[in-house]
């Protein structure tokens, strides 16, 4: 059985993560698309953000949960490996990443 989304054909689906891989052939080139469901993560992050204590007292604070594909494509993983706290802070404070924050304030 072939599963389609318009011109796209499902190639692989991971039931555990919900990740789906799609292909599309335009007559000359095969294009690939990978979809990751993030609605659950965004909802969980919002719940954590709303219940997190205000302020920064203490030794450790969870400030974000970022989908792995975005962590790699944004350079977050590389910056973490290189201990580039400046880049990490800039990225996590960016409004584009606000849905992945689990604590209010500035990193």
In a domain, 40, yes or no: no
Domain ranges, residue 11: 4-35
Is the same domain home to 26 and 70? no
Q: How many domains does the chain have?
A: 2
Q: Give pLDDT tens digits for 32-74.
A: 999 989 898 999 999 999 998 888 787 888 899 998 888 999 9
Is the same domain home to 50 and 22? no
The per-residue pLDDT for 3 is 95
- List own/partner pairs for 5-12 with CB under 8 A and 24 or more apart: 8/33
Is the same domain home to 50 and 82? yes
The 3-class SS string of 46-62 reads HHHHHHCCCCCCCCCCC
66 close to 8: Cβ distance less than 8 angstroms: no
Whole-structure pTM value: 0.70
Is the same domain home to 66 and 25? no
Tell whether the model's pLDDT for residue 77 goes beyond 90: yes
Q: What percent of the chain has pLDDT over 70?
A: 100
In a domain, 107, yes or no: no
In a domain, 80, yes or no: yes
């Amino acid at each position: 059985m072939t599963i389609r989304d318009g011109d796209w054909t499902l190639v692989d689906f991971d039931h555990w993560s919900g990740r789906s891989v799609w292909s599309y052939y335009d007559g000359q080139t095969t294009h690939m698309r990978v979809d990751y469901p993030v609605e659950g993560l965004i909802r969980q992050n919002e719940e954590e953000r709303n219940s997190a204590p205000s302020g920064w007292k203490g030794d450790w604070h969870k400030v974000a949960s970022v989908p792995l594909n975005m962590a790699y494509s944004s350079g977050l993983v590389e910056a973490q490996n290189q201990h580039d706290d400046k880049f990490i802070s800039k990225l996590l404070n960016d409004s584009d990443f606000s849905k992945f924050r689990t604590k209010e304030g500035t990193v």
